[in-house]
């Protein structure tokens, strides 16, 4: 029996990497009985006498699991955003950040098309970078086509971890993956002039080694749902709020209607970026206002 990691799954086969080799395996029947399925990124026990006829035996507990894309045990989430065409959206960035915080995945914000900005727009982008980095996030501004410095910084930031790419459609995610892994030759989608967003171009999830990192080639998508996040946990998903929340008058302050709220004071003074607080309120209203999901009682006759 060996331990390995699932790095690709196609047509019922799971490709497990272990000790420098890739083994083609199939899952045991008891996975179906338990309603379990291995995911890309899973650590598994398997046995195999050769590279093409292995059998998966067990799946190790996951530290996290994503639905879009379907992948497990993620260390880093690279949020790929465009500086222009489509325009940079701090709302979308914050939405992805909250999603990743809830999954205990460290974010990296990577902004493409910086070379298309004029001087004023570049200054504004630098303000975003300064703020996000002040609250503990990594934000990388692309320097393509001038040099590959930003790509090297991205790979260095991921280190030995496993990363998924997500973010704005049309931001150049497939182009970025092609720059990191030229052997992939991924198609890049054109921007739809009528819809203002790019076509999704990648088709399946696979982990690829880049330096010491593992990078998942995942289908791009333009937004995510916050259905797994409850309103009470939302304040803890904003690190700029967390740093000051103990100074609020009331424990468990939601930073909305409570008096003597340190967060609202920090927003008023500019210590916390007002746009961050606005997005917090929007996310809160969305979570509170969503319809409850009722499960059918299977025992009801």
pLDDT of 247 above 90: yes
pLDDT of 151 above 50: yes
pLDDT of 292 above 90: no
Is 170 among the annotated ligand-binding positions?
Answer: yes
Q: What is the DSSP code (8-state) at residue 221?
A: B
pLDDT computed for residue 28 by the predictor: 79
Is 168 among the annotated ligand-binding positions?
Answer: yes
CATH code, residues 2-61: 2.40.50.140
Per residue in 192-236, pLDDT (tens digit) is: 333 334 444 445 788 999 999 999 876 556 678 898 999 999 999
pLDDT computed for residue 212 by the predictor: 93
Is 289 among the annotated ligand-binding positions?
Answer: no
Is 253 among the annotated ligand-binding positions?
Answer: yes
Is 255 among the annotated ligand-binding positions?
Answer: yes
Is 248 among the annotated ligand-binding positions?
Answer: yes
Is 191 among the annotated ligand-binding positions?
Answer: no
Class of domain 71-217: alpha beta
pLDDT of 274 above 90: yes
Is 161 among the annotated ligand-binding positions?
Answer: no
* Domain boundaries for CATH 3.40.50.300 within the chain: 71-217
Supply φ then ψ for residue 139, to 5 degrees.
Answer: -130, 120
* Domain boundaries for CATH 2.40.50.140 within the chain: 2-61
Give pTM, 2 decimals.
Answer: 0.87
Is 112 among the annotated ligand-binding positions?
Answer: yes
Helix (H) or strand (E) run with residue 79 in it: strand 76-82
pLDDT computed for residue 282 by the predictor: 98
Is 118 among the annotated ligand-binding positions?
Answer: no
Class of domain 231-289: mainly alpha
Is 24 among the annotated ligand-binding positions?
Answer: no
| Residue 189, CA atoms < 13 Å, CB-side half-sphere | 20
Is 120 among the annotated ligand-binding positions?
Answer: no
Is 211 among the annotated ligand-binding positions?
Answer: no
Q: How far is CA 227 from CA 50, 79, 94, 287, 292, in A?
A: 43, 19, 16, 7, 10
CB within 8 A of 107, min separation 6: which ones?
76, 77, 78, 79, 96, 97, 100, 101, 137, 138
Is 174 among the annotated ligand-binding positions?
Answer: yes
Give the Cα separation of 235 and 145 in Å (integer): 39
């Amino acid at each position: 029996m060996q331990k390995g990691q699932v790095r690709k799954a196609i047509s019922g086969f799971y490709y497990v990497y272990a000790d420098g080799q890739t083994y083609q395996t199939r899952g045991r029947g008891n996975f179906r009985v338990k309603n379990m399925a291995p995911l890309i990124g899973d650590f598994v026990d398997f046995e195999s006498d050769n590279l093409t006829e292995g059998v998966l035996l067990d799946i190790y507990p996951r530290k996290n699991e994503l639905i879009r894309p379907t992948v497990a045990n993620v260390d880093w989430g690279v949020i790929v955003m465009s500086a222009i065409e489509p325009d940079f959206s701090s709302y979308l960035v914050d939405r992805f950040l909250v999603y990743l915080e809830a999954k205990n995945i460290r974010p990296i914000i990577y902004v493409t098309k910086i070379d298309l900005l004029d001087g004023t727009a570049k200054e504004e982008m630098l303000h975003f970078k300064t703020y996000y980095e002040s609250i503990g996030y990594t934000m990388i501004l692309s320097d393509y086509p001038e040099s590959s410095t930003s790509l090297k910084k991205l790979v260095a930031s991921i280190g030995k971890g496993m990363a998924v790419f997500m973010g704005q459609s049309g931001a150049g995610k497939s182009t970025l993956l092609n720059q990191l892994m030229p052997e992939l030759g991924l198609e890049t989608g054109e921007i739809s002039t009528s819809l203002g967003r790019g076509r999704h171009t990648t088709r399946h999830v696979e982990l690829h080694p880049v330096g010491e990192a593992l990078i998942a080639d995942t289908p791009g998508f333009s937004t995510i749902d916050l259905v797994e996040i409850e309103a009470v946990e939302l304040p803890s998903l904003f690190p700029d709020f967390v740093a000051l929340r103990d100074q609020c008058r009331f424990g468990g302050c939601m930073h909305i209607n409570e008096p003597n709220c340190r967060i609202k004071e920090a927003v008023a003074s500019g210590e916390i970026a007002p746009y961050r607080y606005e997005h917090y309120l929007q996310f809160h209203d969305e979570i509170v206002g969503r319809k409850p999901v009722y499960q059918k009682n299977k025992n009801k006759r």
